[in-house]
Every structure is written in structure tokens, then in C-alpha cells.
Amino acid sequence: MREEQKKIFTAVEGDRWFARNADSEEYRSLSKDKLVEVMEHIELTPKKVLEVGCSSGHNLHWIQQVFQAECYGIDPSKDAIQAGQEAYPALSLQVATAESLPFDDHSFDTLIFGFCLYLCDRRDLFKIAHEADRCLKNHGTLIIKDFYPPFAYKNTYAHCDGVYSYKMDYSQMFRWNPEYAEVANVVYSLDGFRNRDIPDEKVAIVVLRKNTQSAYPQSPFSSD
């Protein structure tokens, strides 16, 4: 049986991924990620934020600076978390994975999947959705940044044998549930707009709002 991608990333590939990207402008915190720009544009007011797949906490650093929010992050890379703890001591970062979040129920008003779901094991997707829903408060905001192809498919992951990049609209993990409604969807290309028509390059930041009260209106077609 093929080794679980979660184990591969926790053991070696998470640290290797961070090493390949640690010297980029993004991870040296010189520029805001588009995710933070979208949060500003739609005028979110997060107070307590969790980012799943936070790497060293670059996004969380900007969220804390822009919104003065209390920020938490998890990532499978021990090196990324250590670097983030050193660079951003005001953040609360720890090693963990998406299918088992080490937080209490209803802990966060904003939960972000930071470009990580495409590498998660397919068998864990239901667990991941459950854990996110468990930790997100009612009336909270769920943000998913990931690939956004026209249909689900997989590519061979270039940096590690036996690993795949699974590309799909990950907001579908939540939008089937009437408690979640889409409030924003920003689609762009990893290479700007030079390759806007290439599915492999399309990325979306999808913002969903959780509302348990409005999900099931009682007797909407009743004549009483």
C-alpha cells in the first residue's frame, strides 16, 4: 500500500518544502499574500484566526498586523514552525495536521486552509472537513486558498516519489452543507494572468460564511 502523504510530509517532505521556499520574498515577510488582500477587500474583521498549513506564519504575521487578531497556525514541517516561532514570537504555532486539530470546539471566528488541501490524503478529507467545522464558531468565516480546476484530477508531485497533487474545488467539502454560504470567490493564476487559461495554474481564494440558524428555515412553503 502506498505510504500516506501525511506521513511523508510530517517525516521529510514538509521540511524539504520549507527549505526550497524559505528564502523567497513571501517567506521573508516582505509582501502581503493575496489572501490577506482579499480579506481586506471584503472587510473581514477577524479576532481569532487559525491557519491550517501556515508554514512559518507569513500570512498570519500580516493578518496580525492588519487586523490585530489573535493568530494560531499549524503545519507538518517542524523546521517551518521553528522558523516561525523565532521570526514571529507573537504567533502561536505548532506542528500538527489538518485531520486532527489540537483545539477546542468553536475556538476560532476565522479558519484558513493555506494552500495545503491539494497535498492531503484523500481518505482524510471527511475528517478534515469535520475538524474545521468543529473548531469554527457559528457565524465564523472559512477561507480556502487552493487550486481551482474545472474538474477534479491529480498530477504527479514533482519533488517526492509516490506523492500526488490533487486538484479540485475544495470549497465543495463545505458548500454541500446549507450552513455554509459562499461570500467571495477570487480566481487567479499562479503566474499572474499570463496562463489564465491553463487549469494547472488556476488558484482560487474562496470565502464561506457559517450560519447554523439560517441553514434550515422551518416550513418555508407552509400555508399556515
Assigned superfamily of 5-210: Vaccinia Virus protein VP39 (3.40.50.150)
Query: Residue ranges per domain, the chain?
Result: 5-210
C-alpha cell at 66: 492588519
pLDDT tens-digit series, residues 25-78? 565 666 788 999 999 999 999 999 999 999 999 999 999 999 999 999 999 999
- The full 3-state SS of 100-125, as one line of letters, equals CCCCCCCCEEEEEEECCHHHCCHHHH
pTM score above 0.75:
yes
pLDDT 10s digits, 167-207 = 999 999 999 999 999 999 999 987 665 556 788 889 999 99
